[in-house]
Amino acid sequence: MPLVGPFGVCFYLAIMAERSVEVTVLAHQSIEKFDYFICGLAGALFAYIGEHYSPRKLDFGISALEPMALFFLASSFLFGLKRIEWNTCVKKVNAAMLDAAEKAGSTIEVLSKPRTTGVYINSETGDAYDAEALRRRHAVYLKQRADLEPTLNKAMRKANRYYEIRDILLLLGFLMIFLAKILQPYSE
């Protein structure tokens, strides 16, 4: 329930923004943990099957199921690593976009405040700017953000593609293991 009054509503909105950031952080951490778990699972299954696998002449029968399972599990592991790599790329590009957006917002905020002098001082660096220089910097920050958006979209598409391929390969690996164990007694 929102608090009444302009200060109360602002306070309520600030709490909501804080909560959404917390939820977003938790969601990203969960996704990371799940990706690590799936990679670990694929790697562990590959190691277990590989340890107990005894090579024999390949044919197109039931004996081909275990090597196929090894192939699918190894591929799932590699695609999982690529997924983690592209998620890291997404985070880096997203951070750069947010940085540019925040800098653009702060330059507009500074420009919107009434000034007694025409000089703006950056309190962190000590640099002095006039209003026109700040407008140019604002435009540069907006362009940086816009230029990064296609890169972010590409990285997100690749991360999602690797996610789908990884999961399909893992399921195929499980299926091959299952079929090899179920059908093995009937092949003898």
Distance of CA 188 to the CA centre of its chain: 47
**Tokens read off for 173:** 């690996």
pLDDT, mean of each 10-residue run, the chain (188 residues): 40 55 82 91 90 76 86 95 93 92 86 74 74 88 95 94 95 92 74
Please state the domain extents for the chain.
6-187
Give pTM, 2 decimals: 0.74
* Residue 114: Cβ-neighbour burial (10 angstroms; 0-12, 13-18, 19+): exposed
Q: Under DSSP, is residue 124 helix (H, G, I), strand (E, B) or coil?
A: coil
Beta bridge partners of residue 120, listed in sequence order: 129
